[in-house]
Amino acid sequence: MITFDNVSLTYPNGHQGLKNINLEIPKGEFVVVVGLSGAGKSTLIRSINQMVRPTEGRLLIEEEDSLAMNTKNLRLLRRDIGMIFQNYNLVKRSSVLRNVLSGRLGYTSTLKSILNLFSKEDLQYAMECLDRVGIQDKAYQRADTLSGGQQQRVSIARALSQKPKAILADEPVASLDPPTAHAVMQDLQQINKEDQITMVINLHAIDLSMEYADRIIGLRDGEMVFDGKASEVTEQTFEDIYGRAIKEDDLIGEAESE
């Protein structure tokens, strides 16, 4: 359970990223956050694992206020939350397996990780995670030899290897072509259903949001302007959130070529 209790975030330059957000995300929900670029989608997601730090309010993760945590507890919190990025954020020159193993770093002592002494179970589990996203055969390839879709799957495997309670994804499919985008979204949906891992995902494509989300949250200028079930959402809802008419760029298209 993730609870935003009147959370605001003002950046050092005075820009207000989030304004009085009140939000409850129960365990296992598939939440998609939508809004125009600059609306605060990234800020909202990154507040949850404090890659950015809200300046006001309380942000409860499992009843504990994460804004009051010390560095040590914050690291423990972060290892329970996987994160997926638009640009995959893999170490390009390292092997796929090593990239996945970096998801185990929160569980591994500094000395052991520097000496590459990951436990047998960790290695086993990293391979299982790669298997779940269907690229176990690429384990020993350099990450930059993989296609974009495959690289995003490596980063999903990395998040999975943390055995997370929640996964945050910041525009996970914005750099992918439509069929690959759908495939990656389906991977995330499957993980959500099978493992009951909470998903909080930023998307800007309207059709993707409506297809995969349980619940949609709309942001405009740092304010929450919509919160409702995906089944109740129409294109009109998006026009209200975006404050303008829907354009063709807001749609990604069908996965017909798969």
Partner 1 sequence: MTDLNKNTNRIPVLPSKTKKTTTLVFAVVLLLYTMSVIQTEAYPHQIITNIPIVVDFFIDDMLPPNPSYFADSFFALLETWNIALLSTTLSALFCLPIAFVAAGNINRNWALYHTTRFSLNVLRTIPDIIWAVLFVAFVGLGALSGVLALFFFSLGIIVKLVSETIEAIDPGPQEAIRAAGGNLLQVIWFGAIPQILPQFASYTLYVLEINVRASIVLGFVGAGGIGQLLERQISVFNYGNISMVILVTFVAVTIIDTVSTSIRKRLV
**Interface with partner 1 by CB under 8 A: which residues?**
49, 51, 75-83, 85, 87-94, 98, 102-103, 105-108, 110, 113-114, 155, 158-159, 162
Considering the complex, what minimum distance in angstroms separates the CB of residue 97 from partner 1? 12
Considering the complex, what minimum distance in angstroms separates the CB of residue 183 from partner 1? 21
H-helix or E-strand spanning residue 236: helix 235-242
Residues 6 or more apart in contact with residue 56 via CB below 8 angstroms:
6, 7, 8, 9, 10
What is the bridge-based pairing of β-strands 215-220 and 30-34? parallel
Considering the complex, what minimum distance in angstroms separates the CB of residue 150 from partner 1? 16
10 Å CB burial of residue 1 (0-12, 13-18, 19+) is middle
What are the distances in angstroms from CA 87 to CA 90, 141, 154, 169? 8, 19, 12, 11
Considering the complex, what minimum distance in angstroms separates the CB of residue 105 from partner 1? 4
Alpha-helix residue ranges (DSSP H) falling in 89-214: 96-101, 110-114, 120-132, 148-161, 178-195, 206-212
Considering the complex, what minimum distance in angstroms separates the CB of residue 49 from partner 1? 6
Considering the complex, what minimum distance in angstroms separates the CB of residue 175 from partner 1? 12
For 135, the token pair is 């690229």
- As beta bridge partners, residue 170 has 202
10 Å CB burial of residue 189 (0-12, 13-18, 19+) is middle
Residues 6 or more apart in contact with residue 69 via CB below 8 angstroms:
77
Helices (H) and strands (E) in the chain, counts: 9, 10
Considering the complex, what minimum distance in angstroms separates the CB of residue 258 from partner 1? 28
